[in-house]
Structure 1
């Protein structure tokens, strides 16, 4: 029975470590689903070969988190496998506990751990505890960008490539007028790796550049797919943004007509 309990403890430890690491990664700016995927991939050693992996390995804090997960994961997986083997094959299972009871306890324990791991209440509690610990023991600047920018809804941060014949190519931002469509240009990355943050209106995106933008998904998609000279599509996007902005302002006012009143 001790190997079964050891296995459950190892699984509990694994869930706790990956959850803490995912929260820490999330507070470095990664989206929630990305942080969880990268934490689990690093801990299990499955490898994180997505394009998002560059955002991890090129960030010093995220890289330290992932390296720690890799070390802990190697020990945890070996221990879990060893405990599983000992639980069912050691001395032919002759430790006084029926095999059926062992299996039942193992399944019940794993089910309970799965319920705890998927609990939103547990996630919120762990998030608060991890934030306090990181604030106290590290110099990590905590910023939940996903929550701050409401990226779980219609809004998101995206990369838009500047392509030949596109609306964005070889014209200053003051002519492109993305803000009129509700899209903010946060920065421009050049093919050689150069970065220009908060570009001004006289900045002219070049072919091969990548614009990092923030706005509604539909508005960003329209901006990325529009061809040069398509003023009609631009006018429609501006009108759509005006309608959306009006709805958002009304929702802030609430039924009393005062901004900030509860809905």
Structure 2
């Protein structure tokens, strides 16, 4: 049972280290999903050539985080594998083996629950934020917090299709802010990126838009087609946004 306990302890440390690294990456401006992916990739030694990986390599703090994670991985995985083998090599009786399996499964379930705990994530975010601000010379910000990316609000990438309501229109004509949607940037198929695009920017099929707004409205916008039904959906979206604005004004007035 000592070997089982050692294995669970090693796995516990691994989960904590990966969680710490992911939270640190999030606080440097990477999305939560990308940060977790990069932290797990670095810890397992799996290489991926993605835009997020390039952002990690080109950022001094992110590079430091991932480098430390890779260094710790080299010893952690070997230790875990060795302990796992030792935990079963010394089994003399069938009952003892079943007991060890049960202990291992129970311990893994407990670690999984611990790793998924939102309370731990909030606690880690606070601790890591203070550490990054203290030990680095960069102005690290929690962009998710600044943009209030919680609840309904989100940032979404939307690739424009041929039949999309967005295709062939400029931003001024679409008046997306009337629907509560802001266009933060436009990535063209040739690799050119236009940040904070102007109203005369024409959206073409194949462009990828970076949008900010409420998740349900962003999803509906992505499915909207260039037909009469699409125009009706546009009018409905404007009506929904006006209702949201009225509700927010009412709530603000009541809170004073």
Decide: shared fold, TM above 0.5: yes
Total equivalences in the alignment: 250
1:21 aligns with 2:21: yes
Task: Give the TM-score, by structure 2 length.
Answer: 0.78
Aligned residues of 1:28 and 1:143 also touching (Cα < 8 A): yes
Cα pair distance change 1:15/1:227, threshold 3 Å: closer
Pairwise mapping of residues 157-172 of structure 1 onto structure 2 (< 5 A)?
157-164=155-162, 166-172=164-170
1:83 and 2:102 are equivalent in the alignment: no
- 1:174: which partner in 2? 172
Alignment of 1:19-168 (within 5 A): 19-46=19-46, 53-59=50-56, 60-61=58-59, 62-89=62-89, 92=90, 106=104, 109-164=107-162, 166-168=164-166
Tell me, in whole angstroms, the C-alpha distance in 2 between the residues paired with 1:5 and 1:223: 51
Q: Aligned partners of 1:105, 1:166: CA distance in 2, in Å? A: 54
Q: Unaligned regions of 5+ residues in structure 1, if any?
A: none
Query: How far apart in 1 are the matches of 2:165 and 2:101?
Result: 62
**CA displacement at 1:234 relative to structure 2:** 3.3
Distance in 1 separating the partners of 2:230 and 2:205: 21
Equivalent of residue 237 in structure 2, options 235, 240, 245? 240
Gaps in structure 2 of 5+ consecutive residues: none
| RMSD (Å), alpha carbons | 3.2
Q: Does the 8 A contact of 1:180 with 1:238 survive in 2?
A: no
Q: Is the 8 A contact 1:178 1:184 kept in 2?
A: yes
Higher-RCO chain (CA-CA 8 Å, sequence separation at least 6): 2
1:219 alignment partner, one of 217, 220, 225 = 217
Q: Which residue of 2 aligns with 1:258?
A: 253
Aligned partners of 2:3 and 2:87 also within 8 Å: yes
- TM-score scaled by length of structure 1: 0.76
